[in-house]
């Protein structure tokens, strides 16, 4: 397969949309190729089922226009930076050969998010080592591949970003993709008290918008998505910076 521009690797179905939906849509509009790898099926979620979430994930992927969306079927709630889980992720990195990786935040309310952050980062490093063998479904040896950079999108906990992407033109598409996960988020209908979660209320959508407006304001635009980096970000032209 030819090199992919961006691979979004996220702990749960809907993490990619919540953390990077605007960036994904903007990158695709700019002609970049983008794919999504969900690490788990979200089977421990209070609402919905893994099967329903898979349908919702496919619908959201269609809205965003990604090249593909696949699932690693690692255990929800029990992501860990182990060799076994790394060896599940590395073949995906080598198969799709992404130039950039977008992945979960480095610290958050859900323990899977921070664990995925480190798991993905280390898997990317190991993917670049020829001495770590992985194989295709046909049994062929995969070539080593290491992405150029890894960027971590901010999620529930506030983190001061290292850079902000202007998503003003794609914010509504981001929200449309998020709403595709109707089992997880408020859909305008009455819900039984036992089904209410922190993300299933109307106020959660207000939070998403407020966060995007806050990050947008920090760079002088309407809406933004924030990212942290693992190393310094270089620029060739100071005028490329907002």
Say which residue the tokens 């040896």 belong to.
141
pLDDT computed for residue 143 by the predictor? 96
Q: Tell me what the mean pLDDT of segment 129-149 comes to.
A: 96
Write out the two tokens for 129: 């080592």
Q: Tell me what the mean pLDDT of segment 112-119 comes to.
A: 98
Say which residue the tokens 């898979």 belong to.
54
DSSP class of residue 195? G
* Number of residues that this document lists for the chain: 242
Under the banding of pLDDT at 50, 70 and 90, the label for residue 123 is: very high
For residues 196-211, b (16+ Cβ closer than 10 Å) or e, as one string? eeebbeeebeeebeeb
CATH of domain 4-231: 3.40.50.10320
Q: Residue 114's Cα: distance from chain center in Å? A: 12
Which of these, 129, 127, 109, 107, lies nearest to 199 by C-alpha position? Answer: 109
195 to each of 43, 171, 183, how far by Cα in Å?
16, 28, 10
Per-residue model confidence as pLDDT tens digits over 72-113? 999 999 999 999 999 999 999 999 999 999 999 999 999 999
For helices 171-179 and 15-29, angle between their N-to-C axes, nearest 10 degrees:
140
| Alpha-helical segments (H) within 128-201 | 171-179
Residue ranges per domain, the chain?
A: 4-231
Per-residue model confidence as pLDDT tens digits over 35-46? 999 999 999 987
Under the banding of pLDDT at 50, 70 and 90, the label for residue 188 is: low
Q: Tell me what the mean pLDDT of segment 123-137 comes to.
A: 97
């Amino acid at each position: 397969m030819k090199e992919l521009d961006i691979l979004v690797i996220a702990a749960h179905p809907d993490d990619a949309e919540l953390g990077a939906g605007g960036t994904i849509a903007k990158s695709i509009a700019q002609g970049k190729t983008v794919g999504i790898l969900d690490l788990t099926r979200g089977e421990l979620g209070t609402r919905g089922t893994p099967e329903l979430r898979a349908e919702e994930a496919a619908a959201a992927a269609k809205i965003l226009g990604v090249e593909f969306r696949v699932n690693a079927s690692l255990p929800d709630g029990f992501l860990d930076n182990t060799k076994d889980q790394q060896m599940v992720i590395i073949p995906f990195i080598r198969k799709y050969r992404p130039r950039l990786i977008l992945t979960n935040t480095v610290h958050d309310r859900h323990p899977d998010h921070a664990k995925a952050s480190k798991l993905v980062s280390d898997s990317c490093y190991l993917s670049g080592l020829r001495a770590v063998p992985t194989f295709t479904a046909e049994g062929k040896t995969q070539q080593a591949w290491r992405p150029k950079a890894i960027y971590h999108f901010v999620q529930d906990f506030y983190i001061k970003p290292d850079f902000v992407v202007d998503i003003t033109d794609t914010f509504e598409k981001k929200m449309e993709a998020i709403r595709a996960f109707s089992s997880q988020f408020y859909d305008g209908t009455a819900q039984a008290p036992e089904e209410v979660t922190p993300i299933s209320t109307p106020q959660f959508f207000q939070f998403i918008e407020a966060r995007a407006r806050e990050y947008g304001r920090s760079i002088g635009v309407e809406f933004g998505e924030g990212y942290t980096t693992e190393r310094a970000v270089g620029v060739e032209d100071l005028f490329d910076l907002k």
